[in-house]
Structure 1
Amino acid sequence: MKRRELLALESVLGFAPAGMTRWLDPPALARTAIKAGMAKVFADYGDKREVQAVLPSGPAPLASPVEGDVWIDFAADLGDGFDATTTIATLLGAPTLFVDTPGGNDLELPRGDVLVLGGDEVYPAASARAYENRTIGPYATAFPAEPGIPRPTMLAVPGNHDWYDGLTSFLRVFARGARIGGWQTTQTRSYFVVAVAPGWWLVGLDSQLGEYIDEPQLDYFREHLTAHLQPGDGVIVCTAAPAWVHTASKGPDGFNQLHFFDRTIVRNREGAAGTEPTGAAIRLWLTGDQHHYSRYVQLGPDGEPDEAYGIQAITCGLGGAYLAETHRLPETLELPPATSRMRTKDVPGMPMRRVGPTYPDAATSRRLYRRVANPLSRWWLGWRNPGLLVGIGWVQFVLAWLLGAVVGLVQPAPDSIGAVLRGPVPTTASALALVVAIALGSWLLHWLTSVLFGWGGVVATRAIVFQLVAGCLTLLALVGLLLAARSLGMPPLPGIVLLGVAAIGSWGIGALLGTAMFGLFLLTQPSGTVASWRMSAQAIADHKGFLRMRLQPNGSIEIHAIVVDRICTDWATTTAPDGALRVVPATRITGVRLLDGPITVTRNRGATSDTGKAPA
């Protein structure tokens, strides 16, 4: 059965299987924008991370003891449509996962002992109901608790969407020791540290909408991480956004907070004699936020990526939300950049290069993002976001009639289109009213986009110009249709009928032309929030994935980047061990394949200097 059929079972399932978020649906967009603005305001005046200092402190324990290899799963950006989210949850919860490899042999990978959710556990904004429908329900039905089965540990870091209710729902879901299906949560705060294996530490940071790391959080890590680090220890850091890429897309200071954490918490500690090196090093940065897969590796002395001993930075935001583009990713990075405003930083910064495949690959990324402006494609933003189509129709209706008032084309005619065309020249008052309306509308759009979405004046102006062009085209098309009908011998229409035809036509034509022009406008954006709408508007549910990692007794970590090109959309119901109704794939999920790896990262790189570089 399909997701819509499962909605009829909501009262039995205990949650409502949700569809993919339609990001450009005006009401949803407005609600999310308002929550985002409020979250930012309240974050400035009431940092909930500081309040967490009163919560129990301590490393997050493993829910079940682990012997030998430790398997860690990482999935991010997951709480969106039921089909995509539950497909990934089903693969994560399977006792054994069979993965196709380029060589044709299946990999048999066991279920992870630890599952890390890497941010944005719910969309479009956090709330108790949203978590139930989009995260807890799908994960609980994919992997129900069974007596006698070891409970994998579930840990989570909050992303920006988790912060949109001030982190209230996130803490209730992940910081109270609750069980989510067969997984057990163990953290007590929105950040955590876990000693996952001898010499290996797993860390989750709460960056709260890109703000500075708060002092209670730093104290927590100084007490439970820094104080216990030994020379040669390796640290895996999970963060909510790819700050390394932000240095190229959002400014040179994007990596400052992570670099500060690296220098002051991992590589150095304050001792009786002052600052002393710990000898430990971050070996792996993990994040989501960008809904694709990419990997950067530190360059070695020879100028080539050092796969074994270099720091790896991996973005894997394929847990359930829309697919994002990859063809604009930078090839090289310097962390932190020389132009960073940090007072104390590594000079020169750590050089990194993008290696391995991206998902989607660059050619597929270019092909996919252009579809948003193609009305002949089912992925056109108008078809994928009907609310946007309707909303732009009303915008164009008003705009076309205002423009028509200036040129005298939409004044009610008593008998025919000819009379409309011969209407009186607009008065100075009507022309002035149009100028004032456009000026006020431009200012309002500029203000709203700047406050809610961070648009600049150039972007807002460009959006207005595209819509004005669409209004002119709408008006010309409407007049052309009326003239064509008259030339074909259509009898004169009463004025009120002609007015109604013009009203309906301006709305319908305007909806199509205005939405088409908005799609073209999106293609003109090089980067930023508006540029991301090219992919979010399509709500692509396919092309999902996660990381499965193995910590081996020899101290190295082996990383498998796993993707599934087609998600499951056909479901069946069965009974879980506790008697509850459970949703399972109607047929086995196929096409699960290894995208990248196995990638081996060695822990014992020796004591490190203050620059974070391995000694020669």
Structure 2
Amino acid sequence: MAVRASDVSRLPGQRVEPTPEPQTPPGRKMVSWFDPTVLAKSGMKALLSGTFGRQADRRLLDAVSRPQPLCFDYSVDDTGHPRDELWLDYVSDLGDGWDSTYAVASAVMAPELELTDESGRTHVTRGGDVLVFGGDEVYPTASVDEYQARTVVPYEDALNKRRHRPHLFAVPGNHDWYDGLVSFTRLFCQGRRSNGWRTQQQRSYFALRLPHGWWLLGTDMQLESDLDAPQVEFFQKVAAQMRGTDRIILCNAEPAWVKQQVMPRAGRGFLDHNIDFLEQKVLGKKVSVFLAGDLHHYRRHENADGRQKIIAGGGGAFLHPTHLPKVDQSPGGFVQKASYPPQRASQWLAWRNLLFTALNPWFGVFMGVVYTLLGWGIAANLNEGAVGAPSFREVINAGVQSTGSLVLGAGVVLGTFAFADGRRGPLWKKTAGIVHGLVHLAVALLLTWGVSAVAAPLAAELQWSLRRDFLSGLLLFGGGALIGPLVVGVYLLLSLNVFSCHPNEAFSSLSIPDWKNFLRLHFDEDGQLTVYPVGFRRVPRRWKRGRSPEDPVWIPDPTDTRATPPRLIEPPIVIHRTKALPMLEETGPPGPTDMMVDKHPPGGAV
């Protein structure tokens, strides 16, 4: 039985009962992205952060006021002796719902984690001495309260007293920038400690020197994917410390190698070459491993040299689809080797949009109001002197004569046009947006027709003293709340599975907490890097308190039999110790394969 500090202070002779420990986790539910209030707040934050971010870039201020070491050296231990090995965990896109975020955190913070691959082989891994957050550390928008509830508390409770606190480094994503990076800086860049980690960095970008010539670099591309001048200068100085044989792991908040594939018609602006510029002109050598989040799933690309481009954005946020067809082959010869969930499963998950109304009840309320405003004036005109059920032609005529309905109808079409995805070009955006809006108007007219036919006899049967207009409004609201979101769900389903559009909207509407992932990296005594991609098919939904400090504060409830333990998404990816690949001149001949990759580590268990 725990006693709070506030229970100790009492008047002499006053007996205070101790406050019992909570029996349910204190976390929050998954963000409901189609909740109108969430949409409004997130949109306003994004607008303000974009406006002020262009005028006052916090990175420029921190570069002057917050000096930090050129690199944090983990190639040696606390006594100054070279490290034989190092374990490092990479988690991206976290800080959303409790179940998903805490399930990942509990595995990350475990002293040891036994992982089984698809062949049944078991691999014993160790909790990382270093923890890297790869971007978007909180949802929906950054604030001290949201970070505390959605990120800090889950990791503190997951660690408890099971092992030492890891050193934490964080890469900011666009959601971290929604308050101008203020909360991110306070939490991760001021040397603050929590019961879950110890922070080290002073700026929003950093460099880690790792054992056996490995380096990990974390960048900050701000909201416009911009690599600012002080950051370029910083990484130039870091590159000057590297030997010719050193290899680089580059952590970026967004996967630039996929962005241009899913939006091929957008073209490439000069800011889209930031990663190429950093690799070719600043670092002067090819990056061995690219790590990124932003897309909330696991996907790995590999080229003939064995260089890896890995998306691991499964730290807790809603799931993103993996079945977009235009990202299997990336520029530069990088071919997709694995995805989680599999593309077939992702395609089936999109059908959950047919449950859009049940999954997004507050959006249903919003659509109920819209349909009521669209049809109420029409129904009122039809109710005046009506004897029987009106014809559909009469409903259309009444709609044309209702100025309010016409104005609101035009607003609906403009809204759906603005909502439409433009990745297939302006013509598709215009067509899809207008058709979507016209379907809503047609459904609203049909609903109004049915309501007008039902309202009069129903009001008479119930002997209501109120006018039929009131009953018509109630029926319009109920019908719109049920049917309006279904129209949106069907639109998103067709857009994604047929036209490869709206991947973000079609899956954010589902708020799927499952199919989570993180990466565990092991730098061994031979200088080779082993990447363990850890997946969670179904996270627990019920929790109970742990029994001892050696347990996390919350453990899965055994009655939740559908929950699955973490396991390997694919066999470990092993990058053997070889020399790094130098950058070649654009006109130079292709170089030999200098990097070897093996998905099965020697000896089985690690």
**TM range, smaller chain:** 0.7 to 0.9
Contact 2:159–2:196 (CA under 8 A) maintained in structure 1: yes
1:68 aligns with 2:60: no
Contact kept in structure 1, 2:374 and 2:444, CA below 8 Å:
yes
String of CA shifts for 1:56-92, please: whole Å, max 9, x gaps: 2222355964832211111111100111111110000
Partner of 1:170: 184
Shift of 1:289: 0.8
Give me the whole-angstrom Cα distance separating, in 2, the residues matched to 1:137 and 1:262.
Answer: 37
- Give, in angstroms, the shift of residue 457 of structure 1: 4.3
Question: For the residues of structure 2 that align with 1:245 and 1:185, how far apart are their CA atoms?
Answer: 31
User: After the TM superposition, which residues 428-507 of structure 1 pair with which residues of structure 2 at under 5 Å, given as runs?
Assistant: 430-443=401-414, 457-482=430-455, 496-507=466-477
Q: What residue is the counterpart of 2:47 in the other structure?
A: 37
Between 158-167 and 64-73, the greater mean CA deviation after superposition: 64-73
Residue identity in the other structure for 2:194: I
Distance 1:448 1:34 in 2: 16
Higher deviation after alignment, 433-442 or 166-175: 433-442
Matches for 1:150-169 after TM superposition, within 5 Å: 150-169=164-183
Rounded to whole Å, the distance in 2 between the matches of 1:419 and 1:285 is 64
Task: Indicate how the Cα distance of structure 1 residues 371 and 427 shifts in structure 2: closer, same or farther if over 3 A, else same.
Answer: closer
Q: How does 1:187-266 map to 2 (within 5 A)?
A: 187-223=201-237, 225-250=238-263, 251-253=266-268, 255-266=272-283
**Runs of 5+ unmatched residues, structure 1:** 1-8, 268-279, 301-308, 336-349, 375-379
Map residues 111-130 of structure 1 onto 2, 5 A cutoff. Answer: 111-130=127-146
How many residue pairs get aligned? The number is: 553
* Distance of 1:94 and 1:440 partners within structure 2: 53
Provide the rounded CA distance (Å) in 2 between the counterparts of 1:433 and 1:204.
53
**Residues 573, 370 of structure 1: alpha-carbon distance in 2 compared, 3 angstrom cutoff:** same
Cα-to-partner distance string for 1:488-532 (whole Å, 9 max, x where unaligned) = x96596783422221111111121111111111212335798441
Contact 2:258–2:330 (8 Å) recurs in 1: no
Contact 1:333 1:353 in 2 (8 A): yes
Q: 1:197, 1:158 → 2: CA distance?
A: 25
Kindly state the Cα deviation for residue 320 of structure 1 after the two structures are TM-superposed: 0.5
Structure 2: 5+ residue stretches without partners: 1-18, 594-606
Q: 1:41 deviation in Å?
A: 1.1
Asked whether the 8 Å contact 1:233–1:604 carries over to 2, the reply is no
Match of 1:339 in 2: none
Residues 111, 403 of structure 1: CA spacing in aligned structure 2 closer, same or farther, 3 A cutoff? same
Q: Is the 8 A contact 1:77 1:289 kept in 2?
A: yes
Equivalent position of 1:392 in the other structure = 367
Find 1:288's aligned residue among 271, 286, 293. 293
Q: 1:50 matched to which residue of 2?
A: 60
Structure 1 counterpart of 2:314: 318
Residue 401 of structure 1 is matched in structure 2 by: 376
Q: Does 1:364 align with 2:345?
A: yes
TM-superposition CA deviations, 1:168-214 (whole Å, max 9, x none): 01111111122232421111111110001131000101011233200
**For residues 163 and 492 of structure 1, what CA distance do their matches in structure 2 show?**
56
Aligned CA distance change for structure 1 residues 289 and 11 (closer, same or farther; 3 Å): farther
Q: Is the CA contact 1:393–1:510 (under 8 Å) kept in the aligned structure 2?
A: yes
SS of the aligned residue for 1:260 comes to helix
For the 8 Å contact 1:57–1:188, the answer to whether it is kept is yes
Distance 2:317 2:462 in 1: 54
**Which amino acid in 2 is paired with 1:164?**
Y
Cα deviations by residue, 1:213-240 (Å, 9 ceiling, x for unpaired) = 00111111112x2111211211001110
Which amino acid counterpart does residue 53 of structure 2 have in structure 1?
A: A
Find the aligned partners of 2:395 and 2:508 in 1 and give their Cα distance: 46
8 Å Cα contact 2:117/2:570 also seen in 1: no
Contact 1:20 1:82 in 2 (8 A): yes
Q: Return the TM-score normalized by structure 1.
A: 0.81
Residues 310 and 392 (structure 1 numbering): CA distance in 2 closer, same or farther, change over 3 Å? same
1:528 and 1:45 map into 2 onto residues whose CA distance is 35
Letter in 2 for 1:57: Q
For 2:505, the equivalent position in structure 1 comes to: 533
2:490 corresponding residue in structure 1: 520
SS class of match (1:524): helix
Residues 440 and 227 of structure 1, relative CA distance in 2, 3 Å threshold: same
- Aligned 8 A contact 2:131 2:167 in 1: yes
Question: Conserved in 2, the CA contact under 8 Å of 1:281 and 1:608?
Answer: yes
Give the SS at the match of 2:174. Answer: coil
Tell me, in whole angstroms, the C-alpha distance in 2 between the residues paired with 1:388 and 1:188. 41
Q: What's the CA shift string for 1:365-419, capped at 9, x where partnerless? A: 11101111x2xxxxx22111111011001101111224546xx52x3458x5459
Whole-angstrom CA distance in 1 between matches of 2:490 and 2:398 = 35
CA separation of 1:495 and 1:555: change in aligned 2, threshold 3 A: same
CA distance in 2 between counterparts of 1:92 and 1:218 reads 32
Q: Give the Cα separation in 2 of the matches to 1:383 and 1:106.
A: 40
Query: What residue number does 2:604 align with?
Result: none
**Mean Cα deviation higher: 589-598 or 209-218:** 589-598
Q: Secondary structure at the match of 1:294?
A: strand
* Whole-angstrom distance in 1 between the partners of 2:364 and 2:508: 16
| Aligned-partner SS, 1:116 | strand
Q: Which amino acid aligns with 1:204?
A: G
3-state secondary structure, aligned to 2:172: coil
Q: Is the 8 A contact 2:375 2:405 kept in 1?
A: no
User: How far apart are 1:245 and its partner, in Å?
Assistant: 0.5
Task: Decide whether the 8 Å contact of 1:118 with 1:158 is kept in 2.
Answer: yes
Given residue 318 of structure 1, which amino acid in structure 2 is its aligned partner?
A: G
Residue 602 of structure 2 is matched in structure 1 by: none
Letter matched to residue 259 of structure 1: D
Query: 1:439 Cα deviation (Å)?
Result: 3.2
Q: 2: distance between equivalents of 1:592 and 1:428?
A: 57
Task: Note the 1:296-311 alignment, pairs <5 A.
Answer: 296-298=301-303, 300=304, 309-311=305-307
Q: What's the counterpart of residue 5 of structure 2? A: none
| Aligned positions of 1:602-613 closer than 5 A | 602-606=576-580, 608-611=582-585
Does 2:568 correspond to 1:568?
Answer: no
Give the one of 533, 553, 559 matched to 1:582.
553
TM-superposed CA distance for 1:603, in Å, is 4.5
Contact 1:15–1:132 under 8 Å retained in 2: no
1:219 and 1:289 mapped to 2: Cα distance? 26
SS at match of 2:570: strand
CA contact (8 A) 2:130 2:167 kept: yes
Alpha-carbon contact 1:466-1:521 (below 8 Å) kept: no
